[in-house]
Structure 1
Amino acid sequence: MRPHERHEEIIRLVTRRGEVSVDQLADELEVSRETIRRDLVGLDELGRLQKFHGGAKLRSIAAMEIGGEGPFAARMAENLSAKRQIAKAAASLLSPGDSLFIDTGTTTVLFAEAIAGLSGLTVITNSTRIASLVSAGGDNKVFLIGGAFSMDASETVGSLAVEQIARFRARHAFLTVGALDGTGLLDFDEAETQIARAMIERVETVTVLADASKFNKRGIFEVAGWDHVSRLVTDAEPPANIAHAMEMAGTLAIITTQCLDSRTRSSKSKLL
């Protein structure tokens, strides 16, 4: 195996498992531990993984964004822990063979990290970050929507992107939005709103990923009413007006704090 091929295999293994030891890599790739250590140093310097004593782990896209500049990087740092929990809960909803749209957003980038180790998915996205994350993980098929490119969010938007979305049909859409209220989903960017609307029209199930800071924000552009949303994955109980609108529309709320509490109770009962 040539060095560059070995490096790509190391990245694939780290992405799939999240964390791999030097011993594991040496055994699986049939090279010396010293060779693996040199590989990890080089890949860490290139920013492709994070080396630690005895192994390597996935370098979080979120961590890199937080260290960057621009509005998207600033949003990435907001409510990061809650967004990670939302992303993990949303990832648990998928099964091999599922097809899904993923739009561009800070929480959906974390969602892409969470599904990177899964296999058998077909992902359609307008985010180059998300496409890179998912394609580097398990045995997944990724389609990157073309269109006008926005550097800050690393996304494609505009009429060409909307036209390409219309060529696909998928089972799911996993979306982020700027605001939620009693009427439904809202956003602050017209181009991103058009992308979300187009994806909603081409799927069976719409899942919205949004932390509690989005509740009752004053959005500008209407994305969709609650009757178009199957599930909301969030970190807190929605306010009464939103909860009522969701109940009337039949939208399921998946609250990560309740999921964590349930797992904690289950663990305690096993100990007892």
Structure 2
Amino acid sequence: MDQLAEELTVSRETIRRDLVGLDELGRIQKFHGGAKLRSIAATEMGGEGPFAARMAENLPAKRQIAKAAASLLSPGDSLFIDTGTTTVLFAEAIAGLSGLTVITNSIRIASLVSAGGENKVFLIGGAFSMDASETVGSLAVEQIGRFRARHAFLTVGAIDGTGLLDFDEAETQIARAMIERVETVTVLADASKFNKRGIFEVTGWDQIGRLVTDTEPPPNITQAIEAAGASSIITTRY
């Protein structure tokens, strides 16, 4: 940073602040004493940026999706919630409800639901990932296997005609494990996820009960959902 400050004739604090901003936007990866460009795969090939930056993307649509998804629950329901920006907003939406049992690998989600109504919350343990404040890894997957729930409310990185995809292998494993332990899977996804190029396959449409989104999906996705026979689309407007 000292070299950059000298070359650009600005203060060291200005350089530090700009690097923090670029890191939050996903353009660079900041580390102690410097920074480096993020990989092409993470920035130009449709990958996802840092969690904090993604929280601000498509916020009105995500809030409406979260509100619509919360209306699907009733007292006594048990549910898995995975880590994602839309599921954090979903946790805010259900925080005022009571009588739910929530199992999650997200510290944010556990805190939000616990601070609301009279709900029981289980936080899955495992390897801690700082960016999204989540637990992942084999220990987390093992602990998920000790539960059974009625619902899973999940977010993913990408959706196409084949089903759900993601960009993070560890998060994909969490979603797969939750899907195996529930009766109904509900996916929360705004239109930016449609026909995005994912890397890891989460599951096909035959295992999805509902898709809650902010607009009608493209024809190839709608046709795939109809062909699966078990999926329904809940479209919300904002």
Q: TM-score, structure 2 length as denominator?
A: 0.79
The alignment status of 1:172 with 2:161, answered yes or no, reads no
- Counterpart of 1:202 in structure 2 is 181
Deviations 1:199-251 (A, max 9, x none): 00000000000000000000000000000000000001010000000001121
Alpha-carbon distance in structure 1 between the residues aligned to 2:208 and 2:145: 19
Paired with 1:238 and 1:247, the residues of 2 have a C-alpha distance of: 12
Higher relative contact order (Cα pairs below 8 Å, separated by 6+ residues): 2
Which of 93, 101, 123 aligns to 2:80? It is: 101
Aligned mates of 2:227, 2:123 — CA distance in 1: 35
Q: 2:226 aligns with which of 247, 269, 272?
A: 247
1:192 shift after superposition: 0.1
- Correspondence for 2:71 among 88, 92, 109: 92
1:218 paired to 2:218: no
Question: What do the CA deviations read for 1:54-94 (whole angstroms, capped 9, x no partner)?
Answer: xxxxxxxxxxxxxx947101101100000000000000000
Partner of 2:138: 159
Looking at structure 2, the residues matched to 72 and 178 of structure 1 have their Cα atoms a distance apart, in angstroms, of 12
- After the TM superposition, list the runs of 4 or more consecutive aligned residues in structure 1 that deviate by more than 2 angstroms: none
Q: Do structure 1's residue 112 and structure 2's residue 91 form an aligned pair?
A: yes
Secondary structure class of the residue paired with 2:121: strand
Q: Whole-Å Cα distance in 1 between the matches of residues 174 and 167 of structure 2?
A: 13
Q: Which runs of 5+ in 2 are unaligned?
A: 1-22, 27-49
Letter in 1 for 2:190: D
Tell me, yes or no, if structure 1 residue 127 matches structure 2 residue 106.
yes
Partner of residue 56, structure 1? none
Q: In the aligned structure 1, how far is the partner of 2:53 from the partner of 2:114?
A: 25
Amino acid in the other structure paired with 1:94: L
Supply the distance in 2 between the matched residues of 1:208 and 1:127 (Cα, whole angstroms): 17
Which of 94, 116, 126 is residue 147 of structure 1 equivalent to?
A: 126
Q: TM-score, normalised by structure 1?
A: 0.69
3-state DSSP of counterpart to 2:96: coil
Q: In proportion to residue count, which structure has more helix?
A: 1
Task: Give the Cα separation in 2 of the matches to 1:106 and 1:224.
Answer: 20
* Matching residue of 2:38: none
| Alignment match, 2:45 | none
Q: In structure 1, what is the equivalent of residue 172 of structure 2?
A: 193
